[in-house]
Structure 1
């Protein structure tokens, strides 16, 4: 993916360093659990807080010969979200296999989308402020894409001194991955963006946005550069599940890179 700079450098957002001012570049991947009674490719329940391994179908457990069948409601929810983000809804959408090996991924791959996502480019308008004069500033944050994918299970490491356990209740639950363009320039903007996005999802009824339950998680990409210069090397901070922690992580990582 080619990164395009859509914003003019703003001195209010610069961070001072030993060698002058620096500009922080932030992009985010939001993983939002789809509000649906059943999983993306199976009829197993998505109930939160059930007994371990109670909501696992033969498809989720990757039993031989069990084929996935798409959940129509998850597709509809993704389209609703795309419309709420003023995004392009693609007529053609394709699923792909993302191969990796982990104990809580029985299939050995995640069913996701790569080249042909269900939703294309959109935008979110966020309000940042107030400043010292009490004014708010509206900023347009571009959405690169939204695609559907399966969630993985959960590894549990604190129940036994020498063994780990696996709970597959979350395996196969539908996620919408909402990928922003690198349009954010401060921790304040990032917090405002996630807050606005969560509000949209809750209003549409496509995700409950309960970050404490893992329904909304963020991968935060942070890099720094001299104002107006080339994009720097980014660091990705995975699975942040609090708006406050998102802000703290960005501020710490930006300072570390400077």
Structure 2
């Protein structure tokens, strides 16, 4: 049994696709948020004119030597702490040899046998089910340049600005069993690297790129041949690419053809993957220790200093929300999708909002409007303090839930910034005069004998009809709880 197969011993199977089990592993390149490159002082800023940020060190010109960027190492330590990994006290850099037009040195400085971050895991929820994906490693390496084809007729250009940009390559075990699980893992990892501040997570700019290794097999059969889908830079394309690849591989096997190991690209316009090159194995890269870089030594004191500066992690924060506020795992996980969202919730609770109601509004109406307008919580027109004031008015019976939505809409659209002013201007205050409400109830009962008889005969729908009549007669201003109590008291 090979190492890849040993990884799968005891691993759960997922839902079958046309009688096949899907096996997915990920390699994710997270661009580290340093201002300079991993082995030189050249800038990592995005959007500069081509070839204006490629230094002599990045190009490995004669007489130059690489010098390790301490900030890149600290970010690797931070990730290791966040994922419960082992941080190697001594790790080694190697040269990964291959030839490609945008690789100026003819080799890439990476880590092979002894990476800086070893093991660990990423846990997340898929619906109500908790999933855990094991990690093999996360190693430091430099990025290559970029080939440009769009603006050149019959030719290609090379931009070496990215060459030498610091990356952490995060490699999983082949633990995922569906496209949904793979995308959920990628989203969770994206959340973690942005949460701890080691990567800006901008997928459009290439700061967070995922490669998915996909294979299929009959349940109980040996592992199938995997194909690697390169450079997936959006969660939408990730889902489409993996789905297509699964269908394609099953189709090939069903037609009696063998799967060939390969690196493939996804074309968003056609929705298909296409082979780019035959997939290389480690031996093809002729790894050997980089003679210009000494081993990377990380003292325990350095790790503890980084640990002391770490923010509260999203999983720990979600568990705290469950303990302190009685929120479900699902709600707490939704609230910890980003530091900004968690801050918004905390501010609303500090301003007096009931935690469960605040959670419902944030994960419900606010999330819906943010998605509709494609904006972040930091850009939400309704502040946490305004939300808390609105929730307070629901809690003290000033407005009903339906009226609260009208108030929220006025706040969101900028009609007013004051909750009470909107309530007064629109006449949304609930009826609090028990005597007046009792008169309405009496009138409704006097004119709806049929519903009364049906209710007393055991038909609950008849009671709901009476409640509806009272609410209609009060123009929606009656307190539903008071209406229910009065009706039940009078009906006996």
By the TM > 0.5 criterion, same fold? yes
Match of 2:183 among 179, 188, 191: 191
Q: Distance in 1 between matches of 2:80 and 2:40?
A: 23
Q: Distance in 1 between matches of 2:129 and 2:72?
A: 35
Q: Distance in 2 between matches of 1:126 and 1:250?
A: 19
Secondary structure of the 1:178 match is strand
2:44 alignment counterpart: 46
Moved more, 193-202 or 60-69: 60-69
Secondary structure of the 1:81 match is helix
1:77 alignment counterpart: 75
Which ranges in structure 2 are unaligned for 5 or more consecutive residues? 251-492
Match of 1:213 among 193, 205, 211: 205
Q: Distance in 1 between matches of 2:32 and 2:65?
A: 21
**1:222 positional shift:** 0.4
Match of 1:36 among 28, 34, 44: 34
Q: Is the radius of gyration larger for structure 1 or structure 2?
A: 2
Q: Distance in 1 between matches of 2:125 and 2:109?
A: 35
Q: Distance in 1 between matches of 2:108 and 2:200?
A: 23
2:55 alignment counterpart: 57
Which ranges in structure 1 are unaligned for 5 or more consecutive residues? 130-135
Question: Larger % of strand: which?
Answer: 1
**1:97 positional shift:** 0.3
**1:146 positional shift:** 0.3
1:23 alignment counterpart: 21
Give CA-to-partner distance per residue, 1:16-71, whole Å, 9 cap, x none. 2xxxx111000000011011010000000000011111112110122111110000
1:2 alignment counterpart: 3
Q: Distance in 1 between matches of 2:220 and 2:181?
A: 18
**1:246 positional shift:** 1.1
Give CA-to-partner distance per residue, 1:59-114, whole Å, 9 cap, x none. 01221111100001101101101111111111110000011112211111000010
- The structure showing larger relative contact order (alpha-carbon pairs under 8 Å, at least 6 residues apart) is 1
Match of 2:16 among 11, 14, 17: 14
Secondary structure of the 2:92 match is coil
Match of 2:105 among 107, 110, 115: 107
Displacement over 3 Å in runs of 4+: none
Q: Distance in 1 between matches of 2:132 and 2:155?
A: 48
**1:162 positional shift:** 3.3
Query: Is the Cα contact below 8 Å between 1:9 and 1:228 reproduced in 2?
Result: no
| RMSD of aligned residue pairs (Cα, Å) | 1.1
Query: Is the Cα contact below 8 Å between 1:112 and 1:147 reproduced in 2?
Result: yes
Please, what TM-score do these two structures have when normalized by structure 1?
0.93
Give CA-to-partner distance per residue, 1:107-160, whole Å, 9 cap, x none. 11000010000000000101102xxxxxx1001100110001110001112222
**1:229 positional shift:** 2.8
Query: Is the Cα contact below 8 Å between 1:8 and 1:228 reproduced in 2?
Result: no
Secondary structure of the 1:15 match is coil
Q: Distance in 2 between matches of 1:125 and 1:37?
A: 30
**1:256 positional shift:** 1.2
How many residue pairs are counted as aligned between the two chains? Answer: 246
Secondary structure of the 1:158 match is coil
Q: Is 1:245–2:246 an aligned residue pair?
A: no
